[in-house]
Amino acid sequence: MTQITCQRIFEKIQLLDEYIFYLEKLKVEIKNEQQFLDDFHFFGLTERYLQLTCQSIIDILDLLIIEEKIEKPEERREIVSLLFNKKVLSENLASRLEGLVGFRNILVHEYGKIDRKRVYEFLVERTEDFQVFKKEILSWLKMNKNKD
């Protein structure tokens, strides 16, 4: 693995850590779904940090596609399955991340149609996936750091 790619991935992981921290704080502060839906601060912050988290993960996946010399997919949604096939991601994580690109696209491009209940569910049920992603990527980097 090139030093530059490794450094860029670590920088993205640092950002990912920051966003996960903010999402975890929001999870503690939000008592229930109704409070989340009623308070624009909560849903606005959650949407933004989920967007940044998803983008960080997608950026890392893109860097790994380049590093592994995988032909760039026609659809961005394919990056997860391509990296699963290359044994970069576990089957469990790959299945959990499958809809990540689509969810990020909704947050960015279809912001007028965001289902806030879905955002709340994502916050409550899926933020652990981000930690699992980070652990798997760090493990993969450790195993492949001398590969060039």
Residue 148: what pLDDT?
55
What percent of the chain lies above the pLDDT cut of 90? 72
Kindly state the DSSP code that residue 72 receives in the 8-state scheme: P
Long-range contacts of 135-140 (CB under 8 A, 24+ apart): 136/88, 136/89, 136/90, 136/93, 137/9, 137/13, 137/60, 137/64, 137/88, 138/13, 140/64, 140/88
Q: Which domains does the chain have, with CATH numbers?
A: 3-143 (1.20.120.580)
Residue numbers in the chain where pLDDT is lower than 50? none
Residue 76: what pLDDT?
81
The pLDDT tens digits of the residues spanning 6-40 come to 999 999 999 999 999 999 999 999 999 999 999 99
Closest CA to 139 of 15, 32, 27, 9: 9
Residue 114: what pLDDT?
92
Q: What is the rounded distance in angstroms from the CA atom of residue 29 to the CA atom of residue 38?
A: 14
